[in-house]
Amino acid sequence: MRIYFDNASTTPLLPAVKDAMKAVIDDCYGNPSSIHLHGRKARIIVEEARKVIARILNASTGEIFFTSGATEANNMVLMASVRDLGVQRIISTNVEHHCILHMLDHLEQTSGTKVEYLKVDGQGHIKLETLAQLLKQDDAKTLVSVMHVNNELGTQTDITAVSKLCQEHGALFHSDTAQSVGKIPIDLQEIKINFLCGASHKFFGPKGVGFVYINGDNMIKPLFHGGDQERGMRSGTENIYGIAGMSKALELALIEMDDRKKKITELRDYFIGKLRTELEDIKINSPDSSLHNILSVSFPESSKSEMLMMNLDIMGISASSGSACSSGVENDSHVLEAIGHDPKRKTVRFSFSHMNTLEEVDYVVDKLKSISAVAV
């Protein structure tokens, strides 16, 4: 028996997505830039996918650009905002994904960009009043880069409130929505966001493909140079199989969003109840308001908990550690450090999908009891 509780890391391809990709692989091998029939067929697939994503986000098709994933999209936005839009200061948080944090380090070192970090509370929330104060303090052109949902804790940021603050103070707003797209609604006509990024493999689509939304009022120059693909914004022959799979996956995510959320929430709540009933000294790091599919759980220090992740894997359970190993020394991740987590405790991030079952939860809790040495 193998149980997959690591859906925040990546998700499996849904059968319908595989079928959509296979149809394109079998019947459409033309280059979308070619003007002959094969090329035109490929171009139609790309543009139909763009329409789907634009419709789901309530954006214009001209504001959606395909990328290799969220890392490329986020890097493109941050670098180009400094290079092309005159951004001199970026306000972000200390719990962002490394594709944001590492690019911010790079911009500080190479362009002299001023970077300021919002600290978070014990559940990963930023303080909006602190953001407002920072925006007031400096007249330099500013970009606020705040993720919608934290990938380790599931903590949700009120991006509507952040957007309003940015508008009040004339700042640009960028959000990494890799964990939220396809799971909770995002309406870009209701929320003013200048840049938004997503990745297909987070919502049951293929790996190696994603998108960036660039508001039409803030056009930037390309990160790559070559052909005129993506209206000159992103050179390189389009990944038509991946793009077709991504649009199908996001379309299904929208149709099934409420049903998936209901099932996952019930499963997550059941898991929390079992953990608290059958194990001692369990700490839930994720806030009650966290995204329904992510649950960060902290276990007390013990001789058995030292090998917790390895033992889970041996027992057929795939989950993620809340730690990052460096040179053989295990330390808390930057997210856990930011919320003041006790590094002696061992953290596991369990992340669920609508394909998981209550029986799988029972199995996982039973195995945790046998290896954590904190069973009731």
**Is residue 59 within 8 Å of residue 213, measured between CB atoms?**
yes
Tell me whether residue 4 is in a domain.
no
Considering 255, 270, 285, which residue would you say is the last residue of a domain? 255
Q: What is the pLDDT along the chain (376 residues), one digit of tens a residue?
A: 899 999 999 999 999 999 999 999 999 999 999 999 999 999 999 999 999 999 999 999 999 999 999 999 999 999 999 999 999 999 999 999 999 999 999 999 999 999 999 999 999 999 999 999 999 999 999 999 999 999 999 999 999 999 999 999 999 999 999 999 999 999 999 999 999 999 999 999 999 999 999 999 998 999 889 989 999 999 999 999 999 999 999 999 999 999 999 999 999 999 999 999 999 999 999 999 999 999 999 999 887 777 899 999 999 999 998 665 544 446 789 999 999 999 999 999 999 999 999 999 999 999 999 886 555 4
Considering 225, 255, 285, which residue would you say is the last residue of a domain? 255
For residues 301 and 221, membership in a common domain is answered with no
Tell me whether residue 229 is in a domain.
yes
For residues 264 and 170, membership in a common domain is answered with no
- Supply the pTM of this predicted model: 0.95
For residues 243 and 320, membership in a common domain is answered with no
Residue numbers of the domain that contains 314: 257-372
For residues 288 and 203, membership in a common domain is answered with no
Tracing tokens 């508001």 back to the chain, one arrives at 215
What pLDDT was estimated at residue 259?
A: 98
Q: Quote the tokens at residue 345.
A: 């405790």
For residues 93 and 223, membership in a common domain is answered with yes
CATH code, 195 = 3.40.640.10
Cα–Cα distance, 293 to 7 (Å, whole number): 8
Cα–Cα distance, 190 to 167 (Å, whole number): 13
CATH code, 263 = 3.90.1150.10
For residues 211 and 262, membership in a common domain is answered with no
Q: Quote the tokens at residue 100.
A: 């944001």
Tell me whether residue 2 is in a domain.
no
For residues 224 and 278, membership in a common domain is answered with no
Look at the chain and count its residues.
376
Tell me whether residue 301 is in a domain.
yes
For residues 241 and 360, membership in a common domain is answered with no
Considering 255, 286, 309, which residue would you say is the last residue of a domain? 255
Tell me whether residue 10 is in a domain.
no
For residues 243 and 322, membership in a common domain is answered with no
What pLDDT was estimated at residue 372?
A: 67
For residues 49 and 21, membership in a common domain is answered with yes
Tell me whether residue 8 is in a domain.
no
For residues 262 and 352, membership in a common domain is answered with yes
**Is residue 296 within 8 Å of residue 286, measured between CB atoms?**
yes
Task: Assign residue 211 a region (left: φ > 0; alpha: ψ between -120 and 50; beta: otherwise).
Answer: beta
What pLDDT was estimated at residue 374?
A: 52
Backbone angles phi, psi at 261, to 5 degrees: -60, -45
What pLDDT was estimated at residue 330?
A: 64
Tell me whether residue 1 is in a domain.
no
Number of domains composing the chain: 2
Residue 180 CB neighbour total at 10 angstroms: 23
Q: 179: closest CA among 290, 101, 288, 336?
A: 290
What pLDDT was estimated at residue 373?
A: 53
Q: Beta partners for 66?
A: 211
Q: 312: closest CA among 274, 280, 347?
A: 347
Tell me whether residue 210 is in a domain.
yes
Q: Is 325 a known active-site residue?
A: yes
For residues 243 and 196, membership in a common domain is answered with yes
